Amino acid sequence: MRFLILFTTLMAGWLLMSGIYNGLLIGFGVASCLLCTWLSLRIGATDREGLPTHLFARLPAYLAWLIGEIVSSNIATAKIILRGTSDPEIFEVPANQATAAGLANYANSITLTPGTVTVDIDEAKTGPSRFLVHALHPQFGDDVRSGDMDKRNCALEGAGSGRSGKSGK
């Protein structure tokens, strides 16, 4: 079943990005996707973390929210740059995700949002992990410190409050 899900996902992505639909190119696409799917199975990359099918239902809502954050942060970043009012800061923020993939997703979500960059990840064995974040302006830092993105990443991961023993509140 995972073979079929992975192949279908890869093929859909290939077709969406290709833009050219003739027999030869579609044949190459099918061959490429079959090869990639077979190689993924051979190296064991289709487990729960490698192919997180449990996220598929929650992913569209998260992506819609993240795109909205990216757009609004782009506008705010442009205003700060044009006014010349940057006031950079570096701070730590807790990360309550349950898996390494969840931590990577949260760190990438912070970095994708203009005005903030995840500089370092301190992955703790117990208690919350910590991110070192650079923000162009304290407004962006306040957005990250509010914990909304952390909670949304935990919800995407299906982990509610993250690892046991963690508290981000």
List the domain boundaries for the chain.
2-42, 57-157
Instruction: Note the pLDDT tens digit of each residue in 12-48.
Output: 999 999 888 899 999 999 999 999 999 998 998 888 7
Averaged pLDDT for residues 79-91: 93
- Do residues 87 and 45 touch, judged by C-beta distance below 8 A? no
User: How far apart, in whole angstroms, are the C-alpha atoms of residue 86 and residue 122?
Assistant: 27
Q: Which residues pair with 134 in a beta bridge?
A: 90, 117
pLDDT in tens, 91-137: 999 999 888 888 999 999 999 999 999 999 998 777 789 999 999 99
**Which residue in the block uniquely carries the two structure tokens 């898996």?**
99
Predicted TM-score (pTM) above 0.85: no
Whole-number Å distance between alpha carbons of 88 and 75: 17
pLDDT band at 165 (very low <50, low <70, confident <90, very high): very low
20-to-12, 69, 136 alpha-carbon distances in Å: 13, 32, 41
Distance CA 166, CA 127 (A): 5
CA pair distance 160, 163, nearest whole angstrom: 9
Query: For 8-80, where are the E strands, in sequence order?
Result: none
Q: At what angle do helices 148-157 and 100-112 cross, to 10 degrees?
A: 140
Type of residue found at 42: R
Query: Mean pLDDT throughout 137-146?
Result: 92
